[in-house]
Homo-oligomer: A and B are copies of this chain.
Amino acid sequence: MARQLHVKDLYTEDLADQTEVELTGWVKTVRASKNVGFIELNDGSSIHNVQIVMTKDLPNFEELGKLPISTTIQVTGELALTPKAQQPFEIHATAIKEIGQSNNDYPLQKKKHTYEYLRTMAHLRPRTTTFYAVFKIRSLAAFAVHQYLQGHDFTYVNTPLITSSDAEGAGEMFQVTTLDLNNLPKDDQGNVDETQDFFKKKTNLTVSGQLEVEAFALAFGNVYTFGPTFRAEDSHTTRHASEFWMIEPEMAFADLNDMMNEAQGLLKGVITYIFKHGMDELQFLNDNVDEHLIERLKTTEQEDFGRITYTEAIELLEKAPVEFKVPVYWGLDLQAEHERYITEQVFNKPVFITDYPKEIKAFYMRDNDDGKTVAAADLLVPEIGELIGGSQREERLAQLTDKIKEFGLSLDDYQWYLDLRKYGETEESGFGIGFERLVMYLTGMENIRDVIPYPRTPGNAEF
């Protein structure tokens, strides 16, 4: 009897010539002449298709030659090893059965489509080899993150998406409501009565789970979030989406150096995992999307990341034989052009910039003794710019209280966060990785819309 196999099995198992096999999958291409025809078949288990050879001995040979792309078929046949051909084997079909119809107006015909066009059909584009590779690597990368962190004793924490706090006061937020917008309840002053909303107050979608996960770092030591975050910014760039996933590891008993070591280890660990489990997909993307992809990832995997202070970075930029659009001075919030100059031109590998001016960083970052900078570290990588942002947290209750006031935030809003210090000041550091930027880095894709299954950007929430 024929062995029921997946396409992947053909590539990974050591099958004997003439093994009888049965495969079920989708027609990716079909071409037929008078006496012989070829179907490229895939079932999703591999990036590679398998070639089915059919002859006019098949009773339905003529219909088979006209099958629309994406028809579901069941193939019985004999494995033929073809060690000298481009493909190492093919299947000589003894029977092919159509088990699910497709249609001739299938919109992804063999010709190459633009990414723009494919974005209009997010439900079909995973069927293309490029998006198969991208979303397979996205899946492998997500798992690699979990595996690395769990292997390093990090506890996974699901911080809330709906929140009544606005985290760091940074970033515009989406409001979440069950009020009927066409019939809003009003208070005495004629304003919307938020106490009648679902949560009895105004709520938003989170921009970061950091503050909430810190509470868990102070119970578990090492923790991380990995979940969706949201920004209601009207950005129309290739690097911003309204809904994206963030990885936020947080470590008690860890200073800024520990944080950089952990971030470097995680990034290298993810790349090692992809090399091991996604090499076929990487190779396809290297051949078709970005010819430097594998080389760049190898460098990142093998070399120590650079580390310079913000002050050193400013000096480098001031000496640079380049005219920047935004002039450089100490205190400047570095722009993409500056970041890319440093990581691409000076280092040509990932580099941490540390100890930023306190004014351009968040309130929770730990003040350095110089009184001017904070213990922050951003990781810049070639082609992407900022990939990771982290810091040592201000664990000293008195200093943290002052910082909240200095930043014009409300002590009431942060009472619970201050509690974390009131009951056990503990050295602590953490960082955030935008998961989509990581996937862009791992795939060579240049638009964030092409690494998200169903991207959400201003004006776009289809499907």
Contact = CB atoms under 8 A, between A and B. Distances in A.
5 contacts: A44-B222, A45-B153, A100-B395, A143-B156, A161-B228
Interface stretch (A195-203, A295-303, A311-319): A195-203
Interface residues of A, number: 106
A150 B221 CA distance: 27
**Which residue, of A100, A142, A395, has the highest number of chain B Cβ atoms within 10 A?**
A100
- How many copies of this chain does the complex contain? 2
A103 B422 contact: yes
Contact of A123 (B146, B205, B419): B419
Contacts of A463: 160, 163-165, 212, 416
Interface stretch (A368-376, A423-431, A442-450): A423-431
Given A44-B219, A253-B24, A156 B175 contact: no
A174 B181 CA distance: 12
Contacts of A179: 175, 181
A309 interface: no
Given A132-B220, A157-B453, A100 B178 contact: no
Contact of A139 (B138, B157, B182): B157
Interface stretch (A31-39, A320-328, A356-364, A454-462): A454-462
B397 A461 contact: no
Contacts of A6: 153, 221
Given A126-B219, A135-B216, A72 B426 contact: yes
Nearest to A68: B423
Contacts of A138: 156, 158
Interface of A: 6, 8, 24, 26, 43-45, 68-72, 99-103, 106, 121-124, 126-127, 131-132, 135-136, 138-140, 142-143, 146-147, 150, 153, 155-165, 172, 174-179, 181-182, 184, 191-192, 198-201, 203, 205, 212, 215-222, 227-228, 230, 232, 242-243, 245, 252-253, 395, 397, 416-417, 419-420, 422-427, 452-454, 456, 458-463
A43 B221 contact: yes
B162 A242 contact: yes
Contact of A126 (B147, B153, B216): B216
A140 to B, nearest CB: 8
Given A45-B222, A124-B423, A176-B205, 7 more contacts: A44-B220, A72-B424, A101-B425, A132-B219, A139-B157, A199-B456, A199-B461
Given A45-B153, A124-B215, A461 B423 contact: no
